[in-house]
Structure 1
Amino acid sequence: MTDSLFTYDDGDIDTNRTANTHLNDLIGQRYSRRQTLRGGLTAMTTAVFGGVLLAGCDDEGDLLTRDSVTVSAGQTATANAGKTVTLQGTASDTAQSVAWTQVSGPAVTLANANTRTASFTAPAVSAATPLVFRFTGTTGVGDTATADTTVTISPATLDFTAVAKNRNDLVTVPAGYTVTVLYRLGDPINANTPAYANNGTDTNFGARAGDHHDGMSFFGLAATGAARDPSGSTRGLLVLNHENITESYLHVNGQTRVNGARPEAEAIKEIEAHGVSVIEVTRGASAWSYVQTSALNRRITPNTPMAFNGPVKGHPMLRTAYSKDGTQGRGTINNCANGTMPWGTYATAEENWAGYFRRDRGDAAVRTAAGKANENTSLSRYGISEGRAGNYGWTTVTPADSSNTVFRKWNATAVADAAPDGTADFRHEPFQYGWIVEIDPYNVNSVPRKRTALGRMNHEGVEPSRMIAGVKPAFYMGDDAQNEYIYKFVSNTAWSAADANAADRLAIGDKYLDAGALYVAKMNADGTGQWLPLVFNQGPLTSGNATYPFADQADVLINCRIAADLVGATPMDRPEWTAVNPANGEMYCTLTNNSSRTPARTDAANPRAYLDPRTDGRTGSGNVNGHVIRLRENGDTSEATAFTWDIYAFGAGSDLNKDNINLSGLDDTNDFSSPDGIWFSLPSNVAGQGASPVMWLQTDDGAYTDVTNNQMLAAIPGRVGDGGTKTITNTTAAGTGTATTRVGKAPGATLKRFLVGPKECEITGITSTPDGKALFVNIQHPGENGDPANITSSWPASQTGTPATASRPRSATIVITRTDGGLVGI
């Protein structure tokens, strides 16, 4: 018998009396929980477009090698590029975490990816493209379930209803958009300047917004401080031109004279109302505003010191009583269009500067006697003939300070007994104007530089080509006058991407803009063209030329109009703004109109001359409504010396003859006249990406104003050569003739009217934030035909309703946003 006290055991005795959970219990609980999760954790995915929820289907299926969890996939959906797409996943309460990831398709940035509701902006695509997204739910013990959904993205469309033509006294935009008036004539730009009274008594326009807002660029800022942030879209510097003035509204009762002389106070107000503004703007919780007290705000006026750079710096034709060595100057004037340089600077263009100069009779004889007969040829070619009084009579002012020359400098008359080299008077002051001026908006102490390598003309603007590493960039320009030319400048220096973020931005401008080749365009009837070099001692550009004997390359650049005449460039119908398609590098140029074009003087690139009867009884003649031409460089490179061209669109009323006038088949949703501003959406957002970026077209018209105020249209253009040829018959009082031209594909629904401005205005100047969600537009000279006794527009006071009493109109910058916060236009 065995004693029970000594019985052997193998451990099969429970001696643990604690309450700790047994392993068998854990196994049972785990199994029970898996059974609960089986079919209980789901990942339904949906897509939301414009607030419409697309419900998911319930197609179950095992997607995991482990069989403890099953999931459901949502239904497929579609959207257009630029739209906000919302992905909605569902999961049971047992999911401890969830996440969205992209499985395939063009990469997008998912917002709130670690929540059930994620979103993204549909990317730019050239054709319908599927994007697959996966929703994953994870339990506390590491089990996962996934479900996929597919969103097919199609190319962007112009997603708004075209604005109807109208003659209202407000800015009209499509439903779903908001207009905010941002920066008006006279608005103060520092804390010490009082609010604008708008009754003619205001002074100190060196610290106020100037008049006639025009070309404009946005430069991003970091969240705080003055640091540049190229992607900054909530805070930035807005830089804009003030081209001209509506003088009648600047003074209490318009301009005055005393014994033929202008009062000093009135004249200085008019001078300072020209130039450029640099202002800080910010996006608040509900709207954009400008920061009146920003340390970055400044005005650049016709009196601001300037430096000359490039081949003409120090040339004898730049010497004046102010700058005896020809290296310095004062101010910039009649600044029309602009350019945004890739290294973060602003380029402003001096357009109709010649009209500001006085030139008395007898001046030509004085210059000839001094051995400067060439100067007479130059002044005449640029429109400064003898007998001109000069715009606004500034030279009639007798300043209180007799040493003050800010008024006298506008008198280009050579003083007979003065130094013949021009250092004792201002005979050479006209040669100091007509340039592209580069400004660093981030540095309030920087001195603007006049870039003489780009030539001297009625510069409308300057548009860089696409910047491609290792390729010399080009800069496209129009000379805005009847029968003038299209130019491009090609830098001597190939682009280096590192220069885009350099700290000394004007030094980078020196690198790319001070040395290179200037060309002028010749358009051939077969749709080809050449860039003709304007180089001293090449072809007719020599010291022996009988029309104009050039002294050197600087002389060619000062007189590039004469040089272009001599090499045989094609006279165009007022070349204005230029724009480059960021997708393919094609250059567009607006040809506003040309009243001097006759049937006998038409050609393939300027093919129309016609009579334009209007509803108010007026009749126009020539190329009344203008057109938009575009060029494709051979090899798609900015260094090319040849190109092909066609005409993207012809301006015309929709009711005009489609065989000879309305050649683009425009209708009531997109007919326009006198194209002026043109700009492509930025490649930093979807509207400027892909194969079909959005192009914006603005008008400066007097021919179609019997039907509608000036306007802005949005377009998704095609490519050079997408249309065909057409022969048209032209008829005016000067005779009849035919011309064969190259017409782009009719734009149809890819061109729509987006905005109509207030009475008697011009729509000009456009830029956006890098994210494309705020579009800045300038409204120039509303009510320009009125005066204080007959106010013909009350805008911008009328933007929120008709004011109780008429308010003097003010040029102003507006900002347009979507009420849903999306991209503008698409």
Structure 2
Amino acid sequence: MTANTRSDESGIDLDDIGTNPTANPSFTDLIASRLSRRHLFGLGVGTAGTALLQACGGGGGGGGGGTSFPILPPAPAPAPPAPTPAPPAQQAPLKLNFNAVAKSLDDVVTVPAGYTASVLYRLGDPIAAGVPAYANDGTDAPSTYDRRAGDHHDGMTFFGINASNKWDPAGASRGLLVMNHEAITPLFLHPAGQTVVGGVRTVADEVLREFYLHGVSVIEVNKVGNTWTYKQDSSFNRRVHTLTEMAFSGPAAKTDYLKTKYSTDGSKTRGTLNNCANGTTPWGTYLTCEENWAGYFRRIAANDDKNRSTKEKASFSRYGVASTGRELWATVTPDTPDDLYGRWNTEVIGATATDDYRNGHNTYGWVVEIDPFTPSSMPKKRTALGRFGHEGACLGPVVVGKPLVWYMGDDSRNEYIYKFVSTKNWDAADIGGGIASGDKYMDDGRLYVARFNEDGTGVWLELKLGVNNITSSYDKYAFADAADVVTNARLAADAAGATKMDRPEWTAVNPKTGDVYVTLTNTNAASRPITKTSASNPRYYDDKTTGGKSQLGNPNGHIVRFADDNADPTARGFKWDVYLFAARSTASADVNLSQLTADNDMSSPDGMWFSHAAPGLLWLQTDDGAYTDVTNCMLLAALPGKVGDGGAKVITNVDAGTPRTQNTFVGKAPGTEGLRRFLVGPKDCELTGIAESGDGRALFVNIQHPGEGTSDIKAPISHWPDGGTSRPRSATVVITRNDGGLIGL
């Protein structure tokens, strides 16, 4: 997410700046193995082999996971070892079959000839009978917002429905579209923006609107003829927001870390927010991921530090909980009897933790499971997957008799890449089991963080008390128990020696190869100076805008990919390379390492998702502030190869005229045959969130915060999607091919 209203000089959301002060490796700080192309690429890369993979994705935010989870039967007796199945039948190679869309600064959504993009679901649209249409002028009754579309549409999944109202992954004309609403653009939500007097929010109704506009939507969508619509009065429709009650499960549940005045035993909390990317489960539920949650809480260190332990202050610092509160929600007075506003104040006020919300911040930063098929079900925050700035949770292989795996990024500069491996092996009988299935697979497992080595290999480091320096004697934070480790997962990853990365965002798994892709959206010179470049974060350069403004560091970002050893997601080792370096097509060869052209050059890759209808087709979305002098944000289609299809390379970085060489591993240049611009969005937007119908003939795409940089409500930068003089609205569009064919192919 790039929230221009809360950004630094380079357009990066303040929550993304990073809070990692450790000396953990930035690759060059590691004891480097011999940099050898033969060592990296001679090892070979396993294919999916015995595992069918479900591709995931998902902003700036946003991982929009797919909903097709092919299940392999267990190996026949006698086992083990299981016999190796016959290789899958060869399919004709995929081919992109559209003309690239040109870069654009227009206030429209542009798609290739032969395609139609229609607006489906906009900020404020009603999702219950009797709720009036959205006025879009700030006058809509706040009490109706729990039955309206939220703001900042983000990560998204399509769950097909059959005639029995059950999950059908192949559903092509009816389904539940479940999407995140990451944040808000306050200026457009009230008659004249937020009312703030002396640093205090003075209109409680404005804050109530904002509470409801965060979270998640579940809506029923239907195809009639060639047109998709959502069903306003569907019994499945639901909003999950900051006031929705949620349970905790896993190692941190019912521990002192989560006790508050609202839940004195630490078993539950209210709400979810800053929901960016997402994920799915093979039993048919939705995972929403809490990303930049820390900035919403009020904690004035000068007032609160005297009441805090050394450990608590270390945790606050590492997670960036130290501000007046992003939307000043805690300042509303008088408060309600159930502390709707005061719960955002995470300072010590009462005698004990059950008298105030000193632990309120600990109740956010988790992966949250929602059952879209049971509207009355209570969501659960799955603490075993760790607490950090979750960008998404991408499901890996789904194989009967094998553990389940989710890959996750922590979206902030110099943060890490994680994976969670379930203790229980997958049993297809759990399909349709809802939250109860989640209890089985997501509350017990192993949490890992990635260390990338200089020689193109890597190691998964377990985050567990007593291993990898995660002990009570660790000098920067004394870990007490398993709940402490997952609640302070960033500190545990620091202790283990994980590798700092350039803003890890969405993760996606290629169903054809098993390779895992991670977007590294960008970073700047302050976060990664030229002396801290590395094989996997190798570039340092000046991307000058057309106006001559310098943008030093890695402002365009890149995409790293890795293959777990032996194509086994439970393996502790992996091999990696850089699939794609984003850049202007006019940049030098040491910057434009992927040889991008005017048809596919891009900046700040963010959302990412593999099609399940066309395995191997990758969709890339951008959340950019560096290349917006040339084009609005975009969606691209890609046909990537696999880890090791390129080679080792030495590049030259330059700062203040001083050159410095850097080794790296570059994937095969995609060319326009393998990467092509498919869509350009309206002004000042982010492209984030993507899903498809079960037959791959409808592509759902989210357009987030058009016109967000507007400073004068009377002169919005964008008027999309309604046009005229209207205020802009985040919205979902559905893209179809005019001849009814597969999208992109």
TM-score by length of 2: 0.86
CA displacement at 1:788 relative to structure 2? 1.8
Offset at residue 737 of structure 1 (A): 2.3
Q: Provide the residue aligned with 1:61 in structure 2.
A: none
Q: Deviation of residue 363 (structure 1)?
A: 4.4
- In structure 1, the residue matched to 2:741 is 822
Structure 1 gap segments, 5+ residues each:
1-123, 128-153
Runs of 4+ in structure 1 over 6 Å off: none
Once the two structures are superposed, the pairs formed by residues 298-447 of structure 1 within 5 Å of their partners are: 298-368=238-308, 372-385=309-322, 388-399=323-334, 402-415=336-349, 418-420=350-352, 422-447=353-378
CA distance in 2, matches of 1:364, 1:186: 38
1:718 matched to which residue of 2?
641
Deviation at 1:319, TM superposition (A): 0.5
Matches within 5 A, 1:551-562: 551-562=480-491
Return the alpha-carbon distance in structure 1 between the equivalents of residues 303 and 176 of structure 2: 44
Aligned 8 A contact 1:471 1:639 in 2: no
User: What secondary structure, in the 3-state scheme, does the structure 2 residue paired with 1:467 have?
Assistant: coil
- Separation in structure 2 between the aligned mates of residue 289 and residue 528 of structure 1, nearest angstrom: 47
Residue 258 (structure 1) shift: 4.0
Identify which of 573, 590, 595 aligns with 1:642. 573
User: Are residues 1:601 and 2:601 paired?
Assistant: no
Aligned to 1:623: 554
Equivalent pair of 1:359/1:413 in contact (CA under 8 Å): yes
Q: For residues 278-318 of structure 1, what are the alpha-carbon distances to aligned partners after superposition, in whole Å with 9 as ceiling and x for unaligned? A: 00000012310000111110100011000001111011010
CA distance in 1, matches of 2:116, 2:655: 44
Q: Which residue of 2 aligns with 1:672?
A: 602
Do the aligned partners of 1:248 and 1:255 also contact (CA within 8 Å) in 2?
Answer: yes
2:727 counterpart residue number:
808
Name the CA shift for 1:161/1:186 in 2 (closer, same or farther; >3 Å).
same
Native 8 Å contact 1:723 1:743 kept in 2: yes
Secondary structure in structure 2 of the residue aligned to 1:661: coil
- Superposed CA deviations along residues 401-436 of structure 1, whole A, max 9, x for unmatched, are 641311111111111xx223x111111000000000
1:229-248 correspondence to structure 2 within 5 Å: 229-248=168-187
1:538 maps to 2:467: yes
* CA 568–523 in structure 1, closer or farther in 2 if over 3 Å, else same: same
Equivalent residues in 2 for 1:147-162 (5 A)? 154-162=92-100
Which residue pairs with 1:785 in the alignment?
A: 709
> C-alpha displacement at 1:393, in angstroms?
1.0
The verdict on how the C-alpha distance between 1:604 and 1:260 changes in structure 2, with shifts beyond 3 A counting, is: closer
Measure the CA separation in 2 of the matches of 1:732 and 1:764.
Answer: 33
CA distance in 2, matches of 1:125, 1:540: 46
Are 2:692 and 1:761 equivalent residues in the alignment?
A: no
Q: Do the aligned residues in 2 keep the contact of 1:206 with 1:299 (CA within 8 Å)?
A: yes
Q: What's the counterpart of residue 661 of structure 1? A: 591
Deviation at 1:738, TM superposition (A): 2.0
User: How far apart are residue 126 of structure 1 and its match?
Assistant: 4.3
* TM-aligned CA deviation for residue 125 of structure 1: 7.0
Count of aligned residue pairs for this structure pair:
651
Q: Structure 1 residues 238, 215: CA separation in 2 closer, same or farther (over 3 Å shift)?
A: same
Tell me what 1:461 maps to: 392
Corresponding position of 1:250:
189
| 1:794 corresponds to | 719
Cα offset, 1:597, TM superposition = 1.7
Segment of structure 1 superposing worse, 208-217 or 591-600: 591-600
Matching of residues 440-589 of structure 1 within 5 Å: 440-499=371-430, 501-502=431-432, 504-589=433-518
Other structure's SS at 1:267 match: helix
Residues in 2 aligned to 1:180 and 1:737: alpha-carbon distance in whole angstroms: 49
Q: Which residue of 1 aligns with 2:200?
A: 261
Deviation at residue 494 of structure 1 after TM alignment: 1.5
Aligned-pair CA distance for 1:734: 9.8
Contact 1:367-1:375 within 8 A present in 2 as well:
no
**How large is the RMSD of aligned CA atoms in angstroms?**
1.4
Report the secondary structure of 1:755's partner residue: strand
Gaps of 5+ in 2: 1-87
CA contact (8 A) 2:177 2:221 kept: yes
CA distance in 1, matches of 2:295, 2:220: 32
Following TM superposition, by how much is the alpha carbon of 1:200 offset from its aligned partner in structure 2, in angstroms? 1.1
Using the size of structure 1 for normalisation, the TM-score is 0.78
Task: Give how far 1:260 is off.
Answer: 4.1
CA distance in 2, matches of 1:412, 1:187: 33
SS of alignment partner, residue 355 of structure 2: coil
Deviation (angstroms), 1:540: 1.3
Whether the 8 Å contact between 1:670 and 1:713 is mirrored in structure 2 is: yes
Using the alignment, how far apart are the partners of 1:327 and 1:731 within structure 2? 53
CA distance in 2, matches of 1:570, 1:540: 15
> Using the alignment, how far apart are the partners of 1:273 and 1:374 within structure 2?
34
The whole-number CA distance in structure 1 between the counterparts of 2:657 and 2:688 is 33
Residue identity in the other structure for 2:399: I
Q: Distance in 1 between matches of 2:89 and 2:630?
A: 38
Matched residue of 1:557: which SS?
helix
SS of the equivalent of 2:118 reads strand
Q: Post-superposition shift, 1:790?
A: 1.4
Deviation at 1:710, TM superposition (A): 0.2
Give the Cα–Cα distance (whole angstroms) in 2 for the partners of residues 286 and 642 of structure 1: 47
The answer to whether the Cα contact below 8 Å between 2:151 and 2:182 also exists between their aligned partners in 1 is yes
Contact 2:392-2:409 within 8 A present in 1 as well:
yes
Q: Deviation digits for residues 796-815 of structure 1, max 9, x if unmatched?
A: 124xxxx3xx1110000000
- Structure 2: distance between partners of 1:365 and 1:215: 36
Residue 668 of structure 2 corresponds to 745
**What letter matches 2:535 in structure 1?**
A
Deviates more, 1:354-363 or 1:234-243: 354-363
Following the alignment from structure 2 to structure 1, what is the Cα–Cα distance between the partners of residues 216 and 656? 43
Counterpart of 2:3 in structure 1 is: none
What is the CA distance between 1:493 and its match in structure 2?
1.3
Distance 1:314 1:475, change over 3 A: same
2:227 pairs with 284, 287, 292, which one?
287
Contact kept in structure 2, 1:125 and 1:155, CA below 8 Å: no
SS of the residue corresponding to residue 189 of structure 1 reads coil
Instruction: Supply the distance in 2 between the matched residues of 1:394 and 1:365 (Cα, whole angstroms).
Output: 21
C-alpha displacement at 1:545, in angstroms?
1.7
Q: Deviations over 1:7-57 (max 9, x none)?
A: xxxxxxxxxxxxxxxxxxxxxxxxxxxxxxxxxxxxxxxxxxxxxxxxxxx
Structure 1 vs Structure 2: percent identity of aligned residues?
55
- Tell me which residue corresponds to 1:105: none
Query: Partner amino acid for 1:753?
Result: R
In the alignment, structure 1 residue 704 sits paired with structure 2 residue 627: yes
Higher relative contact order (CA 8 A, sep 6+): 2
The one-letter code of the counterpart of 1:745 is K
SS in 2 for 1:797: coil
Equivalent position amino acid for 2:257 in 1: M
- Aligned amino acid, residue 396 of structure 1: T
